[in-house]
Amino acid sequence: MAEGVTARATAVAILDGVLGEGRMLSDFSGDHLAPADRARALRLAETVLRHLEPADKLLEKHLRKSPPLTVRNTLRLAVVEREQGAPAHGTVNAAVEITRQGGKRTAHLTGLVNAVLRALPDPVTLPVQKLPRWIRQALVHSYGRDAVTAIEAVQSQEPPLDLTLRDGFPHPEGEILPTGSLRLRSPGQLSTLPGYAEGGWWVQDTAAALPAKLLAPQPGERILDLCAAPGGKTLQLAANGAQVTALDISAPRMARVEANLTRTGLTATLVTADALHWQPEAPFDAILLDAPCSATGTIRRHPDLPFVKDGSELPSLTALQSRLLDRALTWLKPGGRLVFSTCSLFPEEGEAQLTAALSRNPTLTVERPTLDGIDPGWWTQEGALRLRPDYWADRGGMDGFFMARLHKPS
């Protein structure tokens, strides 16, 4: 059996799930694999998804008709591995072995796989993958073609890993970003890194760490983290000494919040409930609403998203965001503040939501505090923060986010 077949075959199976069944990468458990094979399989699948369209265009030159999905994904994997610098001999042998292991469905196509892969140019070079039309058109309209091209360039690369650090705790060595996050290029096994056992940090993209900083939690304040899972913002608020209530509708995702609190030794009141029906016992000093959204700002870390979603859920998401925002405002003390954020690049889930909220609630005002490391050009005219994946492109980019801090009059 060719070396590395287990991880590669698993990567092909993951791609089958994403491209054939519409499953997210996060649905893959991989409990039957050794940790190293599981990590490699996911990394290979993510890399293929970041280069899928140009890989297909190259393969089309050598295929008379499209083979079954599993074989096509095997070919895609081999092409992308070649583009990433893997030796031709190993990738071809592994692809042929995966095809042979597929039994009656694929074994008769081993000759095809061998012939196609041996006909590839050396070296293999692939252009940057473009976003699907349903995303790209909207972003070109909002930010311009050059900005979208820059976003696509960042999304074609494997992203670095960001950590949010706690003062006074050990942490790994890495690049401290202007906003305070720690960026790692090749983190390896997280549980072995300095500070993990002590709860000195947690994984959180530098952009995702900013809504809590924008809220500016104070010790002793009663703060609601609405739509809290998986809990990075809850940990930030609790680490600042706030009395945090973390609410989310998903019990499995809230279990992750609880696990993160346990590891870090931080405390929060956890509530699993539908925010549209839940009612707090008393109003809050501050609320952080990181609302459900299209997540188009996170494609650099979730390259499966463009292949699983098609934008049809956008109207229902924007309606839900408005309802959650209006409901959260009723739980806010007079003089309190609320941060609304979405990890979306669509203005309908950001700038337009802010405009509509101010129209519905004319006494609200937007506050623009000083935040470390923020480029002045990232602030909108209304005082909100608009982040894009191509910001800090030379450092590996960041997630796309929109966030605004609203003040309720006394």
CB 257 within 8 Å of CB 234: yes
284-316 CB burial, b ≥16 within 10 A, e <16: bbbbbbbbbbbbbbbbbbbbbbbebbebeebee
Cα(89)–Cα(9) distance, integer angstroms: 17
CB 299 within 8 Å of CB 389: yes
Cα(386)–Cα(122) distance, integer angstroms: 42
> Which of 43, 97, 37, 40 shows the shortest CA–CA distance to 71?
97
Q: Tell me how far CA of residue 311 lies from CA of 12, 136, 215, 256, 284, in angstroms.
A: 26, 11, 30, 28, 34
Cα(373)–Cα(53) distance, integer angstroms: 36
CA dihedral 142, 131, 401, 349 (to 10 degrees): 60
- Three-state DSSP class for residue 105: helix
Cα(118)–Cα(279) distance, integer angstroms: 64
Kindly list the catalytic residues: 343
